[in-house]
Amino acid sequence: MFASPLGPLVLHDDGHALTALDYGAAQPPPAAADKPSPLAEQALAALQSYFSGPHGPAQADGLMAALPLAPAGTPFQRRVWASLRAIPPGQTRTYGELARELGTSARAVGQACRTNPLAILVPCHRVVAAHGLGGYSGAVQGQELERKTWLLRHEGALRDGL
């Protein structure tokens, strides 16, 4: 578990790659036997760098890109998620732009973003609607959209009209 400005983050790995990153509920500190794996420690270092300040996202980009990821998903979802990892911190793409690049529909891109099991590490928050923020984790209001707004603001990607 990692305490972030967005609340606790819980990492999951299979020993070879990260499989999920969840927004979790506050939990007691792990017991000594629950020491994070070396891979989880590497991911925690990248997340600490990401959240460290206004230059954190850019500094953490290389660390995050080096993390081995193995999210469970369809081949199409994994293709969308790979394209999300190519969006640099501080930049956004619209669902439509990604759809054109991938030869699919904006709705299909949105559904793949919605099912992204590796929030922040696979930056689906960098995908926005043509006129506004769009959704985040399947929600268009509430805590999830507040997280997307925080992440985009932290990366310096919010601009007029978003």
Which are the catalytic amino acids?
124
Between CA 6 and CA 2 the distance in angstroms is: 10
Task: Please give the structure tokens belonging to residue 14.
Answer: 């299979």
Residues 6+ positions from 131 with CB-CB distance below 8 Å: 161
DSSP letters, 80-115, are: HHHHHHTSPTT--EEHHHHHHHHTS-HHHHHHHHHT
Note the Cα 84 to chain centre separation in Å: 9
CA pair distance 20, 51, nearest whole angstrom? 18
Q: How far apart are CA 55 and CA 32, in angstroms?
A: 33
Helix (H), strand (E) at residue 22? strand 18-23
